[in-house]
């Protein structure tokens, strides 16, 4: 019989060799896989450090030096409102405050326009060297009663020509002629083309005659109680009107409310009367 034992041994040796090779191959693959794992673990650790390093850089930017000087710029803006009230605005507001209705055809717009300092005429308050009191309203026609003591100076409010002179008080309360109610009076036509009239005087200055030239502030007469002012406190009846005949008492007594002009002239503002039809 043929002995097959050596053959079997050889076969088993090959099987063992193949198994050994298989085991060594598996061991080698396991060795290669195991070191890769630590590298995978190291990667997140690196990213964490980079993230941690980025955070402090952001915290350093927050307290920047450019933000702190900004509050110092705020005080520079606070003195700006002190420039708002210009000095030139106050006189304009003062002239615009007393706004009367359009008396005697004079509009407020025209009143403001003539209040400009470019006017070439000079105006003064009609009563000098006395305490005065007057109001905005008059009775049935536009005029102003300037109350003051008897004997106060009545002067020309502007330069011009004498137009009316009444030296005698001929008013009789029994007849009450309206043409004679003024008593003693003087009227002038100014260089601005407007008539200015004062009545109820106690006397007219000697030498004041119709047609003569007078200058602003020149003495014309003295205040009193003549005419139908005998039973009233002494005052100067002051009227502003357009030129007409000297005996046209209905016009010369007043067509325009003088209140705005009297206030301005008392303050030295040369407010010029102008009628709406001019």
Per-residue pLDDT tens over the stretch 214-240: 999 999 999 999 999 999 999 999 999
Q: What is the pLDDT of residue 100?
A: 37
Q: What is the pLDDT of residue 275?
A: 84
Compute the residue count for the chain.
278
Supply 9's token pair.
Answer: 């041994």
What are the extents of the domains in the chain? 1-64, 104-266
More confident residue, 232 or 137: 232
User: What are 6-37's pLDDT values in tens digits?
Assistant: 666 777 777 777 877 777 766 655 544 444 44
Instruction: With CA atoms as reference, report the closest residue to 240 among 157, 155, 137, 140.
Output: 157
Q: Which helix (H) or strand (E) holds 154?
A: strand 153-155
User: What are 190-220's pLDDT values in tens digits?
Assistant: 999 999 999 999 999 999 999 999 999 999 9
What's the whole-model pTM score?
0.59
Whether the predicted pLDDT of 161 surpasses 80: yes
More confident residue, 132 or 94: 132
CATH code: domain 104-266 is: 2.70.70.10
Supply 257's token pair.
Answer: 């409310």
């Amino acid at each position: 019989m043929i002995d097959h034992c050596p053959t079997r041994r050889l076969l088993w040796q090959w099987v063992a060799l193949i198994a050994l090779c298989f085991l060594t191959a598996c061991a080698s693959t396991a060795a290669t896989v195991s070191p890769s794992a630590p590298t995978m673990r190291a990667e997140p650790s690196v990213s964490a450090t980079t993230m941690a390093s980025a955070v402090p850089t952001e915290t350093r930017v927050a307290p920047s030096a450019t933000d702190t000087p900004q509050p110092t710029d705020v005080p520079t803006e606070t003195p700006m409102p002190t420039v708002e009230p210009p000095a030139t605005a106050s006189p304009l507001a003062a002239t615009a405050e007393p706004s009367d209705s359009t008396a005697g055809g004079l509009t407020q717009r025209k009143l403001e326009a003539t209040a400009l300092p470019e006017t070439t005429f000079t105006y003064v308050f009609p009563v000098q060297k006395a305490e005065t009191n007057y109001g905005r309203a008059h009775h049935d026609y536009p005029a102003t009663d300037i109350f003051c003591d008897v004997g106060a100076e009545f002067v020309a409010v502007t330069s011009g020509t004498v137009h009316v002179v009444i030296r005698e008080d001929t008013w009789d309360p029994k007849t009450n002629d309206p043409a004679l109610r003024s008593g003693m009076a003087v009227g002038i036509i100014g260089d601005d083309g407007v008539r200015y009239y004062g009545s109820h005087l106690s006397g007219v200055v000697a030498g004041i005659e119709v047609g003569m030239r007078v200058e602003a502030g020149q003495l014309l007469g003295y205040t009193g109680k003549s005419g139908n002012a005998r039973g009233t406190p002494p005052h100067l009846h002051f009227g502003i009107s357009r030129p007409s005949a000297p005996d046209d008492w209905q016009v010369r007594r007043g067509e325009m409310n003088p209140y705005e002009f009297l206030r301005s002239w008392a303050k030295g503002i040369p407010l010029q009367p102008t009628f709406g039809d001019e």
